[in-house]
Structure 1
Amino acid sequence: MSSPLEWFGLSGDADERALKRAYAQRLRATRPDEDPEGFQQLHAMYQRALAQCRSQGGQVPAFPLEQEAAITLQENTQEPEITQHALLEPLLSQEAVDALAQEAISLGTKGDAEALLAWLRTQPALWSLQAKARTGWRCVERMFQEVPPMPVDCQEALLGFFDLDRVQSRIDAASLARLSRRMQLAWEMQRAHHETLRRRVGIETFTVPKIRSLLGEFTRPFSWPSVWMAGFLPSAAHRRAQFITRLCQGQFNDLPASFDRRRVQFWLDATQGGVTRARLALGVTRWLTALFVAAIIGLLIAIAPANGNDVSRQAVSVDLTPVYVLVGVALAPGLLWAMWMLYLPLDAWHGHPEHVAVRWPWLNLLLVPLLCAAGAAIKLWQPDSLAFLLPLVPAAWLALRRFWRRSATGDWVSPNVFRVGIFLLVPLLRAVVQQDVTLPFLLVLAMVPWCWDLWRQRAVLRVADRRAA
C-alpha cells in the first residue's frame, strides 16, 4: 500500500468522515483486549491516515494561530507516539466533544471559576488526553465565534485546564488577549455585574446608576440635541471620554456592536487638544446658551417693578442696562474661547518639528520676528495705546513654546509655570525701574528664544533643505 488511506481501502482523496467509518468497521474485528498488537497497528495507521486527510483538506482551526504554528499544523504528517495507555483510551465522537465544550463555556459564563474547574476534573471523558485536547480546542473555537460573557478568572481556569494558556498552545497571543477583553467586557455589561464594571472603570464619582445611564446613552443613536444637552457642562465631555476609554481599555474596536460608533467618536473628538468639529459644536452651544440665559435674566431684572403697587409705571420706562451688563459678562469668556480656538491651529502649525513639511515654511520660520516688528510699529505709531500687545504677546508665547518643545528644560519645570511666570515679571520690573518696560521686555522675551532655537536648528531648517535641494 502506498498510503495509509489505501490501507483502509479508501481512495487518496477520501475525507475524514469516510476514514472514521472504515476505522469503526475494522475495530469490530480488532479488539485491544483480544489482539493488542493488531489494535496498535490499526490505531497507528488510523492516526497516519487522519493526518493525511487533514493535510490534504488544509483544515485549520476556526481561530487565529501563530504563523509558524499554522504552517506546521498543516504540513506535519509524522506518526504520533502511541503508548499502551493511549491504546485503551475510548474514542470520543464530535458530538460529545461539542457537548462538553458547550457545557464548559456555559459554566464559565456563570462566573464561578472553582465550580468550573471542579466540573472539568470530574468528567471521565476528559481523562483521555486525546479527548481533552480536542475539547479544549473546540472550546477556544466556540469562544472566538460566539464571544460569550465570561470573567477573566473563568477564562484563565478554562484555558489553564486544557493547557491552552501557554506559548506551546500555538494560539495567537494578541488575538487571545483581545478575545479576553471582549469576553470580560461582555460579562461586565450584564446588569448583574455593573458593580464589577464600576470598580474596574475606577471613577470614584460614578455610581452604578450613573454607569447604567452612560451605557444606555452610548447605545442610543447619535443626535445633535442629545449631545448638546449632555455636554453643556464643561466637564461632561471629559468624563464621557474618560469613561468610554476605561471601559474598553483604549481598544475602541472591542466595544460591543450595540454601541453607537458616531456617539463614541464625538466624545473622543470633543476632548482632543486641537480644534475639532465636536469641540467647536459644544463650545458654540455653551456660549449661545450663556448669552440667552444672561439676556433673559437681565430682562427680568430690568422689568421687575420697584414695588408691587407700581407695575404700570414701571412698564412704561424700562432700563436695559442690566441686560447689556449681563450679556457683556457672558460675551467676554466666549470671545476668549474663540481667540483660543483660533490660536490652536497657529500653535500646531508653528510648532511642527523641522523634519515635518509645513505650508509656507518661510512664514513659519519668520513669524515671531514679523509679529515683533508689527508690535514695535504699533507702539511707535500710538505710544499711549495698548494695541501693541496684540502681536507681541502671541510672539513671545509662540517663541517660548517652540523653544520649549525642542529643549530639555521640561526636565526641571512645568512649561505653563515657566511661560506664565515670565510674563508675571512685567509688572514686577515696572515697579522696580519706575517706568514702562513692557515693549523691550516682550521683545527680548520673544527674540532671545527664537534666535536660540534658530541657532540650534540651523543645520536642519526646512528652508535650508529646500535651498540645498
Structure 2
Amino acid sequence: ADAVGARIAAFAAAHDATTLAAWLQQQPELWSLGDKPDIGVAVLLALQADDPPLSPDVIACLTDCFAWDDLRGDIDPWYLETASRRWRQAWLLSPQGEAHLRRHYLALTDALLLPDGSVLRSLRQPRPLWRNLLTTLVPSRVNEAIGVLRALDFWTSRQTPPGLAPTQVAFWARFGNEDDRIHLLSGAVRAGTLAVFCGLLCLWGVLASWPLPPTGDGQFSGVGRAVLIVLIGTLFVPTLWLSGVAVRALVRWQRAPEQMPTALPGLRILTIPLLVASAMGILWLALRLTPGIPVATLAGLLVANAIILHVAWQRLLARCGPFTPNADEFRGLWRLLALLTIVPAWGMALVWWAQDLHQHRDRLRWFNR
C-alpha cells in the first residue's frame, strides 16, 4: 500500500484534477474495496511528507476517491484540514496558482498584487532584521505582506506556508497584532529617516543662506539661529510621531473593558476630567498672563481639544457601543461643532465621560483587586 500510495501521490502532484480522476479509475489496486482505505491513508501520508502544491480540485478529487472526509474513517478531520491547507498554500505560491492568489488577494484587500513583488520575494528569502525594517519604510509593504498572509489563510493555523522562510513569515505576521512592539520599531525607523532627511534639508538651507543675521531682539546670534533651525527641522517629525504614539497608547488604555486589569485604574477613570481641567487651567493662565489675545495658546488648545474629544469618544464607543448609524452621525456632528470652539468641546467630552461612568456605575474598578 505504501508503494502504491507514493505512486499516486507523485502522479497527483504532477497532473490536474481531470487527468487524475481518469487515471485513478484505471488503477487495478483501487478496485478492491478492502485495500482502498489503506491506500488512501498511504497517499495522505506521502503527500503530507512532501507538501506538494495541489489545487483545490485535485484535493477534492483525492478526497472523493478515498473518502478522506468520511467521519467513520480513521483520518482525523483536523489533520486532513491542516494538510489540505498546506497543499493549497503551496499551490497558491506556485506558478500554477499565482493567478488565483492574485484574485484572492484582490478580493480581500481591493489592491493588486504584483507577481514578483518585493513582499513575495522577501517572504521567500531570509533577510536580516535591519533590511526588513528598511522595507517597512514604505507603508504599503506592511499592508501587502499582511494581505498575502491573509490570502494564504495563514492566520488560521499560524504555520509557515510551504516555500516561505519561517523568519520572514514570523516578522511580517507581527504586524497583524496591533499591540506588538514591531509597530513601534517600524515607526521609529520611519520617523528617524524623515528626521535625518529634514535635518539635512534644513542644514543645506542654512549653508546656502550663510551667514545668517542675528534676531531682531538680539536673543539669538547667527550661529544660534542656524542651530535652532536645524534642531527644529530634525526634531519636528519625531516629535509628531511620539505624540501620535502617546495618543494611541492613551486611547488603548481608555478603551480597555472595565473588568480587565489595567495600570492605575483609578487614574484611568479620572483621565478625561483631568485633561479638561488641565486645558481650562492653561486657558486661564494664558488669558491672565498674555497681553492681548493668546493666539498661540488658543491654537494649541484646539489641537488639545481634538485629542480630548477623540479619547473620550473612543472610550465611549468601545465600552458602551456600538451605536445605531443615526446616533453615530449625530454624535459625530456634535463632535465637529464642539471642536470648532473650546468650551463646548470640554462639555461634550465630559458628557461622553459621564455616559460611560453611568453605564458602568456598578462595575467601576478604582484598584486592581
Shorter-normalised TM-score: what interval? Answer: 0.7 to 0.9
- For residue 207 of structure 1, the aligned residue among 114, 119, 130 is 114
How far off its partner does 1:340 sit?
A: 1.3
Distance 1:110 1:199, change over 3 A: farther
TM-score where L is the length of structure 2: 0.80
Give the structure 2 partner of residue 382 of structure 1: 286
Code of the residue aligned with 2:25 in structure 1: it is R
SS in 2 for 1:380: helix
Structure 1 residues 9-408: aligned runs within 5 Å: 97-191=1-95, 193-202=97-106, 204-210=111-117, 213-251=118-156, 253-256=158-161, 259-270=164-175, 272-274=177-179, 276-300=180-204, 317=211, 328=232, 331-383=235-287, 384=294, 385-386=297-298, 393-408=306-321
Kept after mapping to 2: 8 A contact 1:355/1:460: yes
How far off its partner does 1:100 sit?
A: 2.1
Give the structure 2 partner of residue 31 of structure 1: none
Give the structure 1 partner of residue 290 of structure 2: none
Q: What's the CA shift string for 1:56-112, capped at 9, x where partnerless? A: xxxxxxxxxxxxxxxxxxxxxxxxxxxxxxxxxxxxxxxxx2232122111110231
How far off its partner does 1:135 sit?
A: 1.6
| Distance in 2 between residues matched to 1:170 and 1:193, nearest whole Å | 31
How far off its partner does 1:419 sit?
A: 6.8
How far off its partner does 1:128 sit?
A: 1.8
| Distance in 2 between residues matched to 1:242 and 1:294, nearest whole Å | 32
| Distance in 2 between residues matched to 1:235 and 1:414, nearest whole Å | 34
The answer as to 2:362 corresponding to 1:450 is no
SS in 1 for 2:263: coil
Kept after mapping to 2: 8 A contact 1:368/1:396: no
| Distance in 2 between residues matched to 1:191 and 1:114, nearest whole Å | 19
Distance 1:140 1:394, change over 3 A: same
Distance 1:111 1:187, change over 3 A: farther
How far off its partner does 1:230 sit?
A: 1.1
List alignment gaps of at least 5 residues for structure 2: 214-221, 288-293
| Distance in 1 between residues matched to 2:368 and 2:196, nearest whole Å | 53
Distance 1:365 1:299, change over 3 A: closer
Distance 1:111 1:151, change over 3 A: farther
SS in 1 for 2:270: helix
Code of the residue aligned with 2:315 in structure 1: it is R
| Distance in 2 between residues matched to 1:403 and 1:196, nearest whole Å | 42
| Distance in 1 between residues matched to 2:327 and 2:160, nearest whole Å | 36
Percentage of identical aligned residues: 24
How far off its partner does 1:222 sit?
A: 3.9
| Distance in 2 between residues matched to 1:133 and 1:271, nearest whole Å | 41
Distance 1:114 1:323, change over 3 A: farther
How far off its partner does 1:443 sit?
A: 2.5
How far off its partner does 1:285 sit?
A: 1.8
SS in 2 for 1:268: helix
The answer as to 2:325 corresponding to 1:422 is no
Kept after mapping to 2: 8 A contact 1:201/1:246: yes
Q: What's the CA shift string for 1:7-37, capped at 9, x where partnerless? A: xxxxxxxxxxxxxxxxxxxxxxxxxxxxxxx
Distance 1:219 1:425, change over 3 A: same
Give the structure 1 partner of residue 365 of structure 2: 462
How far off its partner does 1:447 sit?
A: 1.5
| Distance in 2 between residues matched to 1:150 and 1:261, nearest whole Å | 21
The total of aligned residue pairs comes to: 347
Query: Alignment RMSD, CA only?
Result: 3.3
List alignment gaps of at least 5 residues for structure 1: 1-96, 305-313, 429-436
Distance 1:419 1:284, change over 3 A: farther
Code of the residue aligned with 1:207 in structure 2: it is L
Give the structure 1 partner of residue 217 of structure 2: none
| Distance in 2 between residues matched to 1:302 and 1:102, nearest whole Å | 73
Code of the residue aligned with 1:182 in structure 2: it is R
SS in 2 for 1:208: coil
| Distance in 2 between residues matched to 1:419 and 1:296, nearest whole Å | 44
| Distance in 1 between residues matched to 2:14 and 2:88, nearest whole Å | 12
Q: What's the CA shift string for 1:428-447, capped at 9, x where partnerless? A: 6xxxxxxxx523x1221121
How far off its partner does 1:290 sit?
A: 1.8
Kept after mapping to 2: 8 A contact 1:392/1:442: yes
Distance 1:289 1:143, change over 3 A: same
TM-score where L is the length of structure 1: 0.64
Q: What's the CA shift string for 1:181-233, capped at 9, x where partnerless? A: 101222333345433433343364222122xx433312333423311321112
Kept after mapping to 2: 8 A contact 1:270/1:278: yes
